[in-house]
Structure 1
Amino acid sequence: MSKFHFKIDPASNQLKFQQLVDSVTEAVSKNLLQVGDILPSVNQLCKESELSRDTVFKAYAELKDRGTIESVPNKGYFVAKATTKVFLFLDTFKAYKEVLYGSFLENLSDNITVDLHFHHYNINVFETIIKESVGKYTKYIIMNFDHEHVPEVIKKIPTDKLLIIDWNVHSRETNSSVYQDFGQTLYQAFVTNIELVRKYKRFIYLYPEFTYHPKESIDYFKAFCQDYQIECEVMRNSKLLDIQPGDLYLMVSDRLLARFLDQCDQKKLTPGKEVGVISYNETPMKKYVKDGITVISTDFELMGRKAADFVNSGDPIHFCVPTKLKVRSSI
């Protein structure tokens, strides 16, 4: 007799076949189904759950492709291997997030599957997707953001299953975290490279109106400039960007970095000579653009690897990923 019983959730937005796939995967990850256990026959599922044969066959075919189940002629479908299902919730998908995601997948064990979602800093999307995910996954990897309702939303997830990555905002002491520092490390990176900063008359932090970059970076930027008597400005209106010789820019937006480089071409200014630029977050292409863009960045490959370690081992982790200034020709 099969241990597995499936019921359609009529309120779910998921297709019926996907509900069945997720239900089997969850049962295996929670050891409700173990290797060798038999699954209900196609006819049995059709009868008990009012599913069409096509729906059941499609779900079982997907599970076979994943290696979760196998079929034996005249005997039925069996659990082939134990799997762990992980919920990965990122803010947006940018080039440096691709590095993190690739490293995370590369370092996961073979029996682990990942569902990737994005919240785009929208609290309604954030809350809805987490509500729908609770109870369906073995581990939850989440990029938080600074919103007053985030703490009550993530409380729905058991702390031993939750890992906060990238931004440590609203993280509880009881849950795991793999994060970067947006304050003191920024300050220290500029101190270490003070002579390069002093090449320029002014240091301008372009913090555009559309960014969600942590605001604490502004405080540490100002503190550095004050402590070392650097003339500075925080520019919050991206439309005011009009680069001038002798200025050094700190950029948190790659969109505005492209505009900066366009203005360099138009005004015949060479990055690293007449003007300077430091870009936040390393991407695979920045080392090649204009003979190299200087970046201040955490190690996203290491962040992905540490997140995978949390999933693979199940052990709690609290790790601050180092942030460094990579000096290239643009400064």
Structure 2
Amino acid sequence: MSKFKFQIDPLSSQLKFQQLVDSVIDAISENRLQIGDILPSVNQLVKESSLSRDTVFKAYAELKNRGIVESVPNKGYFIAKATTKVFLFLDTFKAYKEVLYGSFLDNLPENFSVDLHFHHYNIDIFEKIITENIGRYTKYIVMNFDHERVPEIIKQIPPSKLLVIDWEVHTVPEASTIYQDFGQSLYDALCSGLDLIKKYRRFVYLYPEFTYHPVESIVYFEKFCKDNFIPYEILKNSKKLDVKAGDLYLMVSDRTLSRFLDQCADRNLIIGQDAGVISYNETPMKKYVKDGISVISTDFELMGKKAAEIVTSGESIHLKIDTHLKVRASM
């Protein structure tokens, strides 16, 4: 037991019993505690930490409930199974990210625990959260974004413990990646719906000022339109959205999709006949809205499943998840 000691921060907003639970899980993840190791007795821990007996009992009860710890009468509490802690760092928690997150959790073994964080594309938050959590986890799953400081920050994580997901930007060569492609895959997806796209007089890509969607999508959208002689517009000011009959719209933001739907309703435009729309990123509700919104999307459920497989196996992998056009009534 000389390698392990409970860490309690009296200034933390986290409940003390939860700090005790996390202290054990952290130690197991870092191999400072192993199966069969004995934990301090309740009396010993109360004396050493100045915590109440109720707090200590509650922590040990939670560990027993998770199957991490077992108690033996007259002998004490022992580590019963190894628990692996995973650091999951997403950009934002939108509906399609919830699909990824749910799939990831569903495919992890019970002895894995996940701490979820968000950076909201804020580089200072990105740096602070990663720096504060170095050395605390067995695996780090990170959604990078396109910022010049990301490479130096991400280097703090050992490549063998790093998995970059969703966007293959500022990746570390030795680290694993599971990603979608925002360039050629967009072009190919649009080609699969070429006949439907050509029934409209113009194709408008609304790339709003507030989006972090990869800029390379603009390049490949423009290439698709030019290669197929399709009149087009790239609209970068969301306030200038003015839905007109005969136009097809590509939306990367659900906020602008909502504005499109509102304008169609106000102007009595029938979606899929008078004006069309393709939305980026599948969500559970898009198949039901207005008899179905067409989407260009990668498979976020598969991405979550593959991420869980990599975390569980420890293998190194570089995997692109395909992007497809799902045609629904909105085209």
TM above 0.5: yes
Aligned to 1:234: 234
Q: Matches of 1:72 and 1:279 in 2, distance apart?
A: 57
**Does residue 160 of the first structure (1) align with residue 155 of the second (2)?**
no
5 Å-filtered alignment, 1:303-322, equals 303-322=303-322
TM-score of the pair, normalised by structure 2: 0.95
SS at match of 1:229: coil
Residues 310 and 316, structure 2, Cα contact 8 Å, conserved in 1: yes
Residue 58 of structure 1 deviates from its aligned partner by 3.3
Q: Matches of 2:148 and 2:49 in 1, distance apart?
A: 41
Aligned to 1:207: 207
| Number of equivalent positions | 331
- One-letter amino acid of the counterpart of residue 249, structure 1: Y
Which sections of structure 2, spanning at least 5 residues, go unmatched?
A: none
SS at match of 2:177: strand
Aligned to 1:120: 120
Residue 251 of structure 1 deviates from its aligned partner by 0.2
SS at match of 2:146: coil
Aligned to 1:175: 175
5 Å-filtered alignment, 1:125-144, equals 125-144=125-144
- One-letter amino acid of the counterpart of residue 98, structure 1: E
RMSD of aligned alpha carbons: 1.7
Residues 192 and 325, structure 2, Cα contact 8 Å, conserved in 1: no
Q: Matches of 1:13 and 1:177 in 2, distance apart?
A: 34
Aligned to 2:66: 66
- One-letter amino acid of the counterpart of residue 325, structure 1: L
Q: Matches of 1:2 and 1:55 in 2, distance apart?
A: 23
Aligned to 1:53: 53
Residue 120 of structure 1 deviates from its aligned partner by 1.1
Which sections of structure 1, spanning at least 5 residues, go unmatched?
A: none
Residue 305 of structure 1 deviates from its aligned partner by 0.7
TM-score of the pair, normalised by structure 1: 0.95
Aligned to 2:255: 255
Stretch moving more, 244-253 or 223-232: 223-232
Q: Matches of 1:15 and 1:156 in 2, distance apart?
A: 29
**Does residue 329 of the first structure (1) align with residue 294 of the second (2)?**
no
Aligned to 1:5: 5
**Does residue 265 of the first structure (1) align with residue 232 of the second (2)?**
no
Stretch moving more, 16-25 or 130-139: 16-25
Residue 9 of structure 1 deviates from its aligned partner by 5.1
Residues 68 and 80, structure 1, Cα contact 8 Å, conserved in 2: yes
Residues 117-152 of structure 1, C-alpha deviation per residue, up to 9 Å, x if partnerless?
Answer: 111111121111111211111111111111111111
Residue 48 of structure 1 deviates from its aligned partner by 3.1
Residues 201 and 247, structure 2, Cα contact 8 Å, conserved in 1: yes
Q: Matches of 2:130 and 2:322 in 1, distance apart?
A: 29
- One-letter amino acid of the counterpart of residue 77, structure 1: Y
Q: Matches of 2:55 and 2:214 in 1, distance apart?
A: 46
Identity over the aligned pairs, expressed in percent?
71
5 Å-filtered alignment, 1:7-26, equals 7-8=7-8, 14-26=14-26
Aligned to 1:301: 301
Q: Matches of 1:26 and 1:7 in 2, distance apart?
A: 10
Residue 99 of structure 1 deviates from its aligned partner by 0.9
Residues 4 and 40, structure 1, Cα contact 8 Å, conserved in 2: no
Q: Matches of 1:220 and 1:26 in 2, distance apart?
A: 45
